[in-house]
A and B are shown apart, each in its own frame.
Chain A
Amino acid sequence: MPTSVLWAVDLFGRVYTLSTAGQYWELCKDAQLEFKRVSAAMQCCWGIACDNQVYLYMCANDVPIRRREEAYENQRWNPMGGFCEKLLPSDRWQWSDVSGLQHRLLDGVALPSPHWEWESDWYVDENFGGEPTEKGGWTYAIDFPATYTRDKKWNSCVRRRKWIRYRRYKSRDTWAKIPSKDDPKELPDPFNDLSVGGWEITEEPVGRLSVWAVSLQGKVWYREDVSHSNPEGSWWSLVDTPGEVVQISCGPHDLLWATLWEGQALVREGINRNNPKGSFWSIVEPPGSENGIMHISVGVGVVWAVTKDRKVWFRRGVNSHNPCGTSWIEMVGEMVMVNVGLNDQVWGISCEDRAVYFRQGVTPSELSGKTWKAIVATRECDRSHSGSSSSLLSAGCFFGDEVRASSDSASHDTDVSSEVERRDPEQPLPKESLDNPQNPNESSALDPGASRTAECDVENACPVVGRGEPTQAPGPSGRPAELPWTNIDLKEPKKAPNHSAAGLPESTGLASLGLFTLGLEEPYGADDHLLWAWVSGGGCAVEAGSVLKWFTVQSGLSPSVQTLSLSITPAQTAAWRKQIFQQLTERTKRELENFRHYEQAVEQSVWVKTGALQWWCDWKPHKWVDVRVALEQFTGHDGARDSILFIYYVVHEEKKYLHVFLNEVTVLVPVLNEAKHSFALYTPERTRQRWPVRLAAATEQDMNDWLALLSLSCCESRRVQGRPSPQAIWSITCKGDIFVSEPSPDLEAHEHLLPCDQMFWRQMGGHLRVVEANSRGVVWGIGYDHTAWVYTGGYGGGCFQGLASSTSNIYTQSDVKSVYIYENQRWNPVTGYTSRGLPTDRYMWSDATGLQECTKAGTKPPSLQWTWVSDWYVDFSITGGTDQEGWQYASDFPASYHGYKTMKDFVRRRCWARKCKLVTSGPWLEVAPIALGDVSIIPESPEAEGHTHSIALWAVSDKGDVLCRLGVSELNPAGSSWLHVGTDQPFASVSIGACYQVWAVARDGSAFYRGSVSPSQPAGDCWYHIPPPPKQRLSQVSVGQTSVYALDENGNLWFRGGITPSYPQGSSWDHVSNNVRRVSVGPLDQVWVIANKVQGSHGLSRGTVCHRTGVQPREPKGQGWDYGIGGGWDHISVRANATKAVRSVSQEQEAHGPVCC
C-alpha cells in the first residue's frame, strides 16, 4: 500500500504531516513560517501563511521538475556570403520562437521566479524527428514559414536551428512563496482561504491542478496554468461571484463549492476538461435558516458542511451531473471544520477537544461513513519521551519537553515526569493516554497529575470555542464581520486563560489574525497534546478497509514502519523465536535420533480429494460439462509424493475418465473472466497442442482451494518449494498473473537442450505488467498502474494461502487498469451524427474491434477480482487524437481515425474508459513514489567475482524520465534513491547489459546509447543517438552480455550488428524475426521472446514464450525458435539465468572474454 500523508496545522500555525503508515505527527521540514491554511495534493501542498501570502511546498522527489526553453536561430542564403544572419526586412526575427512571430534572444529568456535555476547553458538540438542532423542542427526550407528538411537542397534559401536550454524547479521540501508580480491594479488583496483540487479533470498537461483562493474582500481567484512542469502557475485571475465568499473547497474532480458570508453555499457549474474554471454559480441554501453554512469541503462525489452551530452535514445526491445535490443530512458530532480527502475519506477537527477525527467506514457504497474516530498519534518529538528505557538514554531526550517555562502546568508536568521515571520502563507510560481524549477515565486512573494537566489543556482551548459563540453569534444585528468562524483561525490562542486577563481587545479585523502567536508560543510550545486548527487530506490516500495505526498509542519500541527492512522483521530475529526453533530441533534430535528404527504408529495412506467441477470438453461442440474429479496422492518409499488427477465424465451415457499425472503438469493458470472461476492445466503435450485441460469451479473459494492443492502437489512432485532461486525465469500473463520457473542447466545447453515446453512454471502472488530479475536475487515489477514493486523474498500470496505461502514477506498489493469501450456514430444528411448506424455497421456501443457489443451498463470488470473505482469517462489520450468532445472521425468503420472532422468523414467514434481495481497479496513491496514505465537490472554471472559494488538498475518513469537507481544490493533490493538522467525527450524503454552498456529507446522511436556507465559513474556521461531501422519506430530494447536486440512497433525483432569493445554503439540493425511482442536477452546472450501468434494458437491465446535456438558466440542471432508455454503470455525475463551447461563453461568464457569489463 503506498504511503501518503495527511497535512494539518495546529493552533500555533505549525504545519505537521501524518503518514498513513506512521503513527507520529511530523513537523513540516521547513518550519520557519506559521500557516493558517493548507490544502494538499499528492505531490505538493499549498498554504496561506500568517503574512497572508500564498506558499507552495513541493515534496522532494528524485526526478527534477524541468522545463525546456526553446529558441530558433534563423538564417537566409545570399549569393555573397552563403547562409548568414542577414534576413530580408519582411523575414522573421533572427532569433525567434518556433512561429517566428516573437522575438526571442537567448539572453532575454529569464527564469520565471527565484525558485528556478538553469540546468546548463543553451545548446543546439541535433535531433530532428528521431534522426541526427549531423550539420550543427540546421534544417532547410525554401522560405519561412515552410516545411523544413534535414538535407540542404539546391532551392534551400533559408535555414533554422533550434537552441534548447533546461530550467529546473529548485525549491523542494520547502515553502516557496508564490511571486506576486501580477499587474498591480489586478493584484488580489490578501488571501484568506485556498483550496487545491481538480487533478482528475484531465490528464493533460501532466499534474494539472486547480488552485482556488479567496481574498479578504471575498473575491474568488483562480491560479492559471498550474501543472507538474509549472508548479507555481502563472497568474491569478478573478472569477466573478454573486456575493462575498469566505471559504472555498475544490474536489479532486469537477466539484467546487464555496461559502458566502450570508451562510449559503455557492456551487460552480460547468467545470470540465475544456473549462476547468467552470461557467456559472448556483446557490444552495443552508440546512436551516438560523444557522448558515460556515465551512464546506467537497470530494469527488460528496459534500460535507459545518454550519455556524458547529453541526456537521452531509449533502445527499451530489455527482458530476448534479453538483448541487438534493438535500442535507445531519451527522453526529460537532466540528470546527471538516475536510474531504482522496477516496472521499473525511477528517474533521472537533469543537470539543480540537483533536483531528477520521471518519471511519467511508466506502464507495456508504459515502457518509459510520463513526468519527479520534487520531491519537503523538508528535515525533514525544516519542523519546514516551519510549522505552533505552530510548530515554538517547541524547535528544535531554533536550526534550521536560524543561518548561514557568507556568501553572509546569508543576503538573514535573509530577508526571518523575512519575514516569519511577515506572517500570517496559510499561507503556501514562503520558500517552493524555492524547487519547476518549479515555479520560483511564488516564485519571493511571495518574491523577496527568489528568489535571489534560483538563488544564482542554480548558485552555475550549472556552474559546465554547464562550466565543454565545456572545457573538446572536449579536444584535448579526453583522457578518463578527461571525464566529474566524476563531478557527490563529487568533484563538491569544484568549488562553493565562493571558485572557490582560483583556486583549477583540479582534478588530481579520487582518490581525495570527499576530499574537509568536509571543504565546513559549508556554504552549512544549505542550503535550496538539490542538488543531486545520487539516487537509487532499494528499492522503486511505483505502476503504485499510488498517491505520493512528488510533492506538504505540509504545516507543516499534520503529516507524517506513524503515521496514525487506527481509528481516523484528519478530523473526527475536530471541524467543530463535529459541523455539532451536529447541524444536533439539527436541527432534533427542526424541527421534536413536529411535528411528521404531515403527510408526500411523501408517501413511493414500489420500483422495474429490469434488465436482466443470470441464471444457475436448471435442466439438466445445462446452462446459459437469465432471467429478478426484486427486489421488500417495507417498512413495523415498517419501516423495506423487499424485494423479482423474476427471470422470459421461459421454453418450457411458462413463469415461481422463487422468493427468501431476508430475507432468507444467503450469496451472487461473483463467478468470466475468462468469467463470476456471483454470487451465498444461502438460508438454497439451502445450504443443495449444489445448489445455480447462476446469471451472462453482465459487472462487472452491477454485482457489483446488488451485492451491494442485499447485502444491505439482511442486511437491517436482520438489520445488520455498522462494524461487536467484536464477529463476519470471513471466507474466496478459491477466497480470506472475509465473516463475527454475531453469535447469541444460536449458541453455548447445546440444540436447531442454525443450521449453517442458519447463515447469509455478505462480507467485501479486499482479504485475512487467517483471525484471537479476541473478543476485533482485527482482522488480511494474503494475498496470505503473507502480514500482520490489520482490521481498517471500512466496505465495494471492490465491495461495496457508501452506503454499510464506508467512512473512507477503503484503497487500493493488493494481488499477482501465476498461475501454467505444461509442460509434454514423453521419446522415438530416440529423448529422446519430447513434443509428447502417444495418451492416458495428454495434453502436462496442469494443475496439466493433465485433462485440459493449454497453456502459452491460460491461463488467474483467473478472470478479476487479471492482469499478470510477465512472465511465471519455478517454482523450487515444492515438490519433480527438476533438474537444473526444470524437475521432473516419470515412468508414473500420478505418484509421483522426481527431478532426473532414468532408469525407461519415463515421465517428469515441473511447470511454472506466477504471477498475484489484486488491490481492504477494511477495511485493512498493517502491514509492515514482511510477515507472520500464525497468532493467544488470545481468550478472554468478561466477563473477567481487560482488562488492551495488547492482546497476535503470528505469524509465511513466512520464518518460530516465532514472538510475542507487544503492541496490541483495540486502537492499529496493535501493535507496533515484538519480535522474537528463534527456531531450521522453523515453520509453531502457536496458543495461552485463558490461554496463545502457541502451534506451525514446518515444520518437529512435535508440540511444549511454556512454561511460560504470560502477563508479553509475549514470554515465552522455547519450549517443542511434537512428532506428529505416521506416520503423523502436519500442523496446534488451541487452545481454554483448548482444543488443530491439523491437519495433510492428513486431520486428532487430539485432544490433557491428558492436565491438571499441565501438559499442554498433553499426547496423539486422532483421531477425517478425511476430514478436517482447524480447528478453540474458547474461548468456540467450534470447527469449513472447511471440505474437504461433501455429495452432486460438483466439485468446496470443502471446507464447519462445526460445531462440542455435545461439552461439559466433552466431549470436541464432537459427530458429523453440515454442514453450503460451496462450496469453505477455512478458518474460530470463535476465537472471546465468546457469550454463557444465561442459561448455570454459568455451563460453573464452568467447566473451575480450568484451567483458
Chain B
Amino acid sequence: MTDDKDVLRDVWFGRIPTCFTLYQDEITEREAEPYYLLLPRVSYLTLVTDKVKKHFQKVMRQEDISEIWFEYEGTPLKWHYPIGLLFDLLASSSALPWNITVHFKSFPEKDLLHCPSKDAIEAHFMSCVKEADALKHKSQVINEMQKKDHKQLWMGLQNDRFDQFWAINRKLMEYPAEENGFRYIPFRIYQTTTERPFIQKLFRPVAADGQPHTLGDLLKEVCPSAIAPEDGERRNQVMIHGIEPMLETPLQWLSEHLSYPDNFLHISIIPKQTE
C-alpha cells in the first residue's frame, strides 16, 4: 500500500523540463544556444535560474544586461508564483519541454514585480507561509517557531532538501486532535479567463454538520463557474501540481498533502481543450 508520505515526496520532487531561449531582439555577441533545465515545480523561477542567467550573460555585452525576466507565449511569468502553478495555468496543454523566453530588456513594470535579490523571494515566501498559518492556526504555530526554524524552511526550499524542509513544515500541518482540521484552508484559485489575479476567501475544512468539505464544496462555494455545467458538460479542468484530483477529495487532506511549500493550495482552473 502506498503511504501518504509518498505524495509529499512526489509533490516535492515534481520537475518540469524546460527549454530557455533568449528573446530574439536581445543583442548578443554570438548566437545563444537554448538552455535545458529541470525546474522544481514547488520553487520560484528567479530562485532556480542562476544557471540560465549565467548561460545567456556569456553571450551578451555587459552593458546590455539588466534585470532578467521570463515570458511564455507573450505572457510575462510572475516569479512570485510557484513554477508548477505557472506551468499548469499557462502551459499544461502544450507539449514538453516548456519553452520559456528569456528577456533582459524592457522589464514589464505593470505585470511583474522586481526581484532584486534572493532576499526578495525569501521575504515573499515567508510572508505567504505566515499568512497561511494565520488562516490555519491563528499564526500560533509559526509564531512559536524560532528564527532558525523559519530559516530552515527557506533553506530547505532553496537547496531542494525535502527532509530539511519537512522536518519543520510538518508542524505547520498539524492541528489539535479535538478538531477535524485547520481553522481555515489556505487556498488560492487562479483562472486565465478573468482579470482578477486569484480568488481567496475564508473557507473551513469541515461543514457545520461535521462533514468534511471536499474540493467540490470549495469550488461550488467560491468559484461556481469552474464546475457548474452550463450545458451538462464540464468545461474546465481543476488542476493542482499537474494532476486533477477528484472533486470528492477532502479539502483538509489536500491542504496537508498538496499544498505548495508556501502552505497554500494553488488551484488552477483551465478551460478544457476541445479536441
* Chain A interfacial positions (CB closer than 8 Å to B): 428, 547, 552-555, 567-568, 571-572, 574-577, 579-581, 583-588, 590-592, 594-595, 598-602, 604-605, 607, 705, 708-709, 712, 722, 801-803, 806-808
Contact = CB atoms under 8 A, between A and B. Distances in A.
Nearest to B254: A580
14 contacts: A553-B210, A572-B1, A580-B7, A580-B243, A592-B15, A594-B17, A598-B36, A599-B36, A601-B48, A601-B49, A605-B159, A607-B161, A802-B170, A807-B4
Nearest to B50: A601
Nearest to B170: A802
Given A709-B167, A803-B167, A808-B3, A598 B38 contact: yes
B209 interface: yes
B51 A601 contact: yes
B170 A803 contact: yes
Nearest to A590: B96
A591 B3 contact: no
A807 B257 CA distance: 11
A553 to B, nearest CB: 7
A227 B43 CA distance: 68
Given A580-B7, A599-B38, A600-B38, A591 B14 contact: yes
Nearest to A604: B160
Contacts of B15: 591-592, 595, 600
A591 B211 contact: no
A34 to B, nearest CB: 34
Nearest to B45: A601
Contact of A802 (B158, B166, B241): B166
A581 B6 CA distance: 9
B10 interface: yes
B243 A601 contact: no
Nearest to B41: A591
A803 B5 contact: yes
Interface of B: 1-7, 10-11, 13-17, 36-40, 43, 48-49, 51, 96-97, 158-161, 163-164, 166-167, 170, 177-178, 209-211, 241-246, 248-250, 253, 257-258
A587 B48 contact: no
Contact of B17 (A575, A576, A592, A807): A592
A167 to B, nearest CB: 47
A581 B2 contact: yes
Contacts of A599: 36-38, 51
A1013 B256 CA distance: 51
Contacts of B257: 580
A46 to B, nearest CB: 34
A21 B147 CA distance: 41
A601 B40 contact: yes
A482 to B, nearest CB: 45
Contacts of A568: 1
A273 to B, nearest CB: 38
Given A588-B10, A598-B37, A802 B167 contact: yes
A576 B243 contact: no
Contacts of A712: 163
B3 A807 contact: yes
B246 A575 contact: yes
Contact of A807 (B5, B242, B246): B5
Contact of A553 (B2, B209, B258): B209
A595 B38 contact: yes
B256 to A, nearest CB: 9
A587 B241 contact: yes
B97 A601 contact: no
Contacts of B10: 584-585, 587-588
Given A571-B253, A722-B3, A803-B166, 10 more contacts: A554-B210, A555-B211, A567-B1, A583-B245, A595-B15, A599-B37, A604-B160, A807-B4, A807-B5, A808-B3
A631 to B, nearest CB: 11
A340 to B, nearest CB: 23
A368 to B, nearest CB: 20
A84 B209 CA distance: 82
A591 B160 CA distance: 18
Contacts of B51: 599, 601
A581 B7 contact: yes
A937 to B, nearest CB: 23
B249 A576 contact: yes
B211 A547 contact: no
Contacts of A576: 245-246, 248-250
Given A579-B245, A802-B170, A806-B3, A595 B210 contact: no
Contacts of A585: 10
Contacts of A583: 243-245
A802 B178 CA distance: 19
A571 B253 CA distance: 10
Shortest beta-carbon contacts, A-B, top 7: A595-B17, A583-B243, A601-B48, A802-B170, A602-B160, A576-B249, A576-B246
B76 to A, nearest CB: 20
A428 B1 CA distance: 32
Contacts of A428: 209-211
A584, A586, A602, A712 interface centre (most CB from chain B within 10 Å): A602
A564 to B, nearest CB: 16
B178 A547 contact: yes
A604 B49 CA distance: 15
Contacts of B5: 803, 806-807
Given A552-B210, A591-B16, A602 B243 contact: no
A560 B242 CA distance: 37
A532 B40 CA distance: 61
A428 B257 CA distance: 27
A587 B1 contact: no
A601 B13 CA distance: 12
Contacts of B210: 428, 552-555
Contacts of A709: 167
B100 to A, nearest CB: 12
A803 B163 contact: yes
A248 B17 CA distance: 78
A963 to B, nearest CB: 31
Contacts of B170: 801-803
B102 to A, nearest CB: 14
Contacts of B97: 595, 598
A592 B10 CA distance: 12
Contacts of A572: 1
A1089 to B, nearest CB: 36
Contact of A584 (B7, B43, B48, B211): B7
Given A580-B243, A802-B167, A601 B7 contact: no
Contacts of B246: 575-576, 579
Contacts of A803: 5, 163, 166-167, 170
A687 to B, nearest CB: 28
Nearest to A587: B242
A601 B159 contact: no
Contact of B249 (A580, A801, A807): A580
B265 to A, nearest CB: 13
A624 B196 CA distance: 61
Nearest to A582: B243
A383 to B, nearest CB: 15
Contacts of A567: 1
A591 B167 contact: no
A1094 to B, nearest CB: 37
B36 A591 contact: no
Given A584-B243, A591-B15, A803-B166, A575 B37 contact: no
Contacts of B16: 591
Contacts of A601: 37-40, 43, 48-49, 51
Nearest to B258: A580
Nearest to B156: A607
Contact of A591 (B48, B49, B242, B244): B242
Contacts of B178: 547
Contacts of B49: 601
A702 to B, nearest CB: 11
A610 to B, nearest CB: 10
